[in-house]
Homo-oligomer: A and B are copies of this chain.
Amino acid sequence: MQEISEAEIDKIHQYWQAINYLSAGQIYLQANPLLRTRLTPDDIKPRLLGHWGTSPGLNLIYVHLNRLIKDTNADILYVCGPGHGAPAIVAHTYLEGTYTELFPEVTMDEKGMLKLFRQFSTPGGIPSHVSAHTPGSINEGGELGYSLMHAFGAVFDNPNLIAACVIGDGEAETGPLAASWNSVAFLNPARDGAVLPILHLNGYKISSPTIFSRMDDTTLSELFKGYGYEVFFVEGEHPHNVHHQLSSTLDIVYDRIRKIQYNARAEGMIHQRKWPMIILRTPKGWTGPKSWNNLPIEGSFRSHQVPLAGVKENPEKLQALEAWMRSYEPEKLFDEHGTLNADLRSLSPVGDKRMSALTYANGGILLKELILPDFKHYGIKVAHPGTIEAESTRNLGKFLREIFTMNAANKNFRLFCPDETNSNRLEAVFQVTDRCFMEKIINTDEKLSPDGRVMEVLSEHLCEGWLEGYLLTGRHGLFPCYEAFVTIIDSMVSQHAKWLKTTQEIPWRKPIASLNYLLTSHVWRQDNNGYSHQGPGFIDTVVNKKSSVIRIYLPPDANTLLSVMDHCLRSKNYVNVVIAGKQPELQWLGMEEAVAHCESGASVWEWAGNDLGDPEVILACAQCH
C-alpha cells in the first residue's frame, strides 16, 4: 500500500473545506452564497435550522471514502446514522453532480448554490436530515437507532457491496443500535458483503455528553472486540493529522475486509470473528466558531444545532459567522461561476461509483421479480364450508418452501423472524434451507448453517431493520411475527411507511418490494400464553396510515392466506400486514372461492347466514379486530 502524498491530503482538505462551507451555507444563507460582499442581515435566513455539530465529521468521512473508492473502484454505500446530517450529505451529492442530475434546477453554479441553500429545511424544500430525498441514502436521520441494521440488511446477499455506516455516539445509546452490533453473527463473508461501522464520537447529544465518548480507548476496544470487531481509532483536533490517520486507516480496514472475503471465498475460511471498525474522535462542530461570550462552541454541546443563534439581529455575531465562513476561503475553492474548481471535482468518483448515485441505494433499479409458484397448487380441498380443519400457516410453509427453491439462484429472498419460524408452523421451509448462523455450530443444533436464508434473532428490531435494508436495496422478504410482539417495532414501521410515501413522490426513486408481515399467534388464541401475549395493537398503528402505503389482510383460512400472500409478494411499495392463525381452524373456502373472495376484498358468505339482505358490515375475515 502506498502512503498518501501531501499533495493529495491538501486536495482532500480543500474538498472538505468546500463541503463544510456548503454545509454552513445551507444552515445560514438565503443570499450572497459565495460571500462576494460582506454579509448583511438580509443574507441570513429568517429561521435557522439544521444541525452543524455533526456535519464536519460526516463530511470528513465522506471525502475520505471518495478517495478510497477512486483508488479501489469499490461499491460503497454511505449509511448516515446521525440525525439532521443533511447539510453535510446533500452538499456532497451536489458537488458530485448527482443532485443536479436529479434536480436540474439546482445547477452547479452560484444560482444553483443559492437554490441549494434556500431549499434546505424550508417549507416546500428538503428536510434537515438525510431522507428519501437524499440521493444515495437508504436511512433516514430522524428517529435514531436503525443505521447499522439497515447497513447489514443492505449487504446480505450483496457480496460486492461495502456499507460504510456512520453511527453517532447519541444513536449508539439506543437499544436497536446496541442490538445491531450482534449482526456479525449472521454475516457470511462468502456470500454477503461487508459492513464497516464508523462510530463517530463527537462527545455530545443535544445537551448531555454521550456515554461512549467518555469511555477510554482500551474500554472501547474491549467492548467491541467482545462484539466481534477489531477497532481502529482515528482521533485528533488537527485536520492535517486526522486526514493522514483516516486515509491510512481506511486503506487498512479495506484490506482487512478484502482479506476476510478472500479467505472465505477462496479458502473456505468463513469463520473469522474479527471485522474491522473505526472509532473516530473529533470535536463536535469542528472548524466552526470556537467560542462565544467566553463559552466554548466547537467541541461542546453548544455546536449541536445552530451556533451563533440570533446572528441576524446581532452585528457582532454576524461578523463571527462571516469570519467563520470566510475561513474556508470559498474564493479559492469555487470558480467565478460558483462551480467547484476542476482539480477538486476530480476527487469525486464518477458515474454510479459516486456514493450518491450508487444503484444499491435506489434498490428498485436492481429489483428482480420474485419467482412464484402457482399458489393454487398448495390449496386445501374444502368440499363444504366448515367441515375440515387445517393450520393455515403450516400450509403456507409449503408455498414458501417452493419460493426458496425457485429463487435459490437469484439469492434475493429471505425470511426474518424472532426465532419463531417453527412456532409459527412454517417449518416446511427447513426442508430446503437453514437458519443462518455464523457462530460455532454444535451437534445439538438443527437446521443451522452459515448459508441459511432464515434469519432468526430474538430481536424484532433487528428483524425489521435487516428486512428494511434488504428491501431498500432491491430484494424480497417476509417477517413472520407473533401479533402481540410486533408492536415492538411500531415506530419503525411508521418510519418505513413515511419513507415509502415520500418515495412515491420522488420520480427517480424506483418501486421496491413491499414490506410483508405475517402476524400469527394472534390475540384470540393466546389463552395458553396468557395476557402478556395478547396485543392486537399493531393494526391500530398501521390503519391510520394512507391506503396508498398500508394494506391490511385478514385471511380467514388456508386458501385465502395463500391467495393473499401471493398477492403481497408480488406487490411493490406497500407495507402489507397479513394476520392469520396458526392453530387448527375450520376451513371455509375452496381455492376458487378463496381467489374470488380475495379479489373482491370482502364478500357475503350466504351459506353462513339466513338474512340475504344487505349486510351492514362484512369484514374480509373471521377475525374482527
Contacts and interface: CB of A to CB of B under 8 A. Distances in A.
Contact of A540 (B185, B419, B484, B540): B540
A47 interface: yes
A502 to B, nearest CB: 7
Interface string A413-457: 000000111110000000000010101111011111000000011
Interface string A470-502: 000000000000001101101100110010001
A610 interface: no
A420 B206 contact: yes
Given A498-B531, A537-B490, A299 B444 contact: yes
Report, as a range, how many residues of chain A touch the other chain: 35 or more
B540 A456 contact: no
B173 A174 contact: no
A541 interface: yes
A446 B301 contact: yes
Given A127-B531, A175-B459, A215-B439, A487 B491 contact: yes
Given A226-B223, A490-B537, A211 B439 contact: yes
A361 to B, nearest CB: 18
A488 B491 contact: yes
Nearest to A227: B223
A541 B530 contact: no
Interface of A: 47, 49, 84, 121, 123, 127-129, 131, 140-145, 170-171, 173-182, 185, 203, 205-211, 214-215, 219-227, 273, 296, 299-301, 419-423, 435, 437, 439-442, 444-448, 456-462, 484-485, 487-488, 490-491, 494-495, 498, 502, 527-533, 535, 537, 540-541, 544
B530 A419 contact: no
Contacts of A205: 419, 456, 458
Given A226-B222, A296-B444, A448-B208, A144 B174 contact: no
A304 to B, nearest CB: 10
Nearest to A461: B175
A141 B214 CA distance: 34
A264 to B, nearest CB: 19
A459 B172 CA distance: 9
Given A128-B528, A208-B448, A419-B207, A174 B179 contact: yes
A173 B214 contact: no
A498 B531 CA distance: 8
B530 A445 contact: no
Given A128-B530, A437-B208, A544-B540, A143 B488 contact: yes
27 contacts: A84-B529, A121-B530, A128-B528, A131-B530, A140-B532, A142-B533, A143-B484, A143-B532, A173-B457, A173-B458, A174-B459, A174-B461, A175-B461, A185-B211, A207-B422, A207-B447, A208-B456, A208-B457, A209-B442, A215-B439, A222-B222, A223-B223, A223-B225, A301-B444, A487-B494, A491-B537, A495-B532
